[in-house]
């Protein structure tokens, strides 16, 4: 995460990293044809579809793939809320 935090952008085919870059507000180029993971797509992440023109587009505009406003949630609070819901069901 230290490397991600200090990078200008991230390029990866990994979905887990896509979530991390979304929460860190770091631009990410997804090196896949499709992705099942939604966080960040069209916001902080750009799907390359393995198309060289799309890769070039991202490289020329990666600075625009950041949020201007922070998200209102945190991964830790999402987990706490989940366990609160599960425990109240019992």
pLDDT band, residue 87 (cuts 50/70/90): confident
Q: Quick one: pLDDT at residue 52?
A: 97
Query: CA 30 to CA 14: how far, in whole Å?
Result: 8
User: Which CATH number goes with the domain that contains 6?
Assistant: 3.40.50.2000
Whether pLDDT at 57 is above 90: yes
Query: CA 72 to CA 10: how far, in whole Å?
Result: 23
| Model-wide pTM > 0.75 | no
Residue 82 belongs to domain spanning: 2-88
Q: Quick one: pLDDT at residue 58?
A: 97
As for how many domains the chain has, the answer is: 1
């Amino acid at each position: 995460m230290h490397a991600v935090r200090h990078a200008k952008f991230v390029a990866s085919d990994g979905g887990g990293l896509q979530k991390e870059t979304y929460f860190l507000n770091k631009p990410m180029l997804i090196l896949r044809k499709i992705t099942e993971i939604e966080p960040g797509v069209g916001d902080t992440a750009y799907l390359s579809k393995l198309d060289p023109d799309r890769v070039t587009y991202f490289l020329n505009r990666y600075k625009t793939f950041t949020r201007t406003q922070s998200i209102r949630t945190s991964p830790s609070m999402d987990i706490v809320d989940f366990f609160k819901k599960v425990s109240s069901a019992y």
